[in-house]
Amino acid sequence: MISLPTDLLGRIPALLIAITFHEYAHARMAYFWGDPTAKLQGRLSLNPIAHLDPIGLLMLVIVRFGWARPVPINPFNFRDRRKGLFWVSFAGPGMNLILGFLATFFYVIFKITTYKIYGSSLYGIVGSILYNLVIYNVFLAIFNMIPLPPLDGSKILSTMLRGRNLQVYQQIEPYGPFLLILLLVFGGLGHILGPIAFFIINIYETIVSIVVTPFL
């Protein structure tokens, strides 16, 4: 029998939840705005198998960077193309921010409770899953908000630009993936994402601690 380390057992469920809800949110929002493409392809589902890319998941587990299968959409089906594309693109990161906050809520309760019972915080698998749910959801949200193709942030920004600014951005867009790879390879992305993500996490923890501490 293979024994997996607690850290890995905590990361895999957290990754599956973060990725699945991210893609589901895209599909659900697209359907809301009138595009049935994702639904017809079985992506309007909370089944992780419907969204996973095997290589992307493997990369996430090993090097903590990877991807899921993009949700197919047809913006021409939207009731309002610009608004639809904006909200569909924002839905994934938005869902991750919500999940990150909910995970923080349960994580803080778990820490306080175990400390009161055992005199120290005993994490184990449950604590590891909750901790990684916070980390992965917040980082996934911030990462996807970077305005470089093929990330959600690029589509969000394109819906907000007009005229000359949009034309300039569209000329830059083809180079987005190469810029993203350069940031990943040379480590610049971590210096950008880290401070923002942990700032958000600290805000989450502060809010939750203020709310739940009096009741525990």
pLDDT of residue 2: 37
Say how far apart CA 81 and CA 158 lie, in whole Å: 12
Stated pTM of the model: 0.90
Q: Please name which of 6, 4, 5, 3 lies closest in space to residue 130, comparing C-alpha atoms.
A: 6
pLDDT of residue 192: 82
The single residue of 23, 92, 132, 208 carrying the catalytic annotation is: 23
124: left (phi over 0), alpha (psi -120 to 50) or beta: left
pLDDT of residue 29: 98
pLDDT of residue 3: 41
Say how far apart CA 136 and CA 88 lie, in whole Å: 20
Q: Can you give the pLDDT of all 216 residues of the chain as single tens digits? A: 334 455 677 888 998 899 999 999 999 999 999 999 999 999 999 999 999 888 777 776 666 666 788 899 999 999 999 999 999 999 999 999 999 999 999 999 998 888 777 766 556 788 889 999 999 999 999 999 999 888 999 999 999 999 888 888 888 888 888 888 787 777 777 788 889 999 999 999 999 999 998 887
205 is a catalytic site residue: no
Cis-peptide into 70, omega within 30 deg = no
pLDDT of residue 1: 34
- Would you say how long the chain is, in residues? 216
* Distances in whole angstroms, Cα of residue 95 to Cα of each of 26, 37, 66, 101, 201: 9, 20, 18, 10, 15
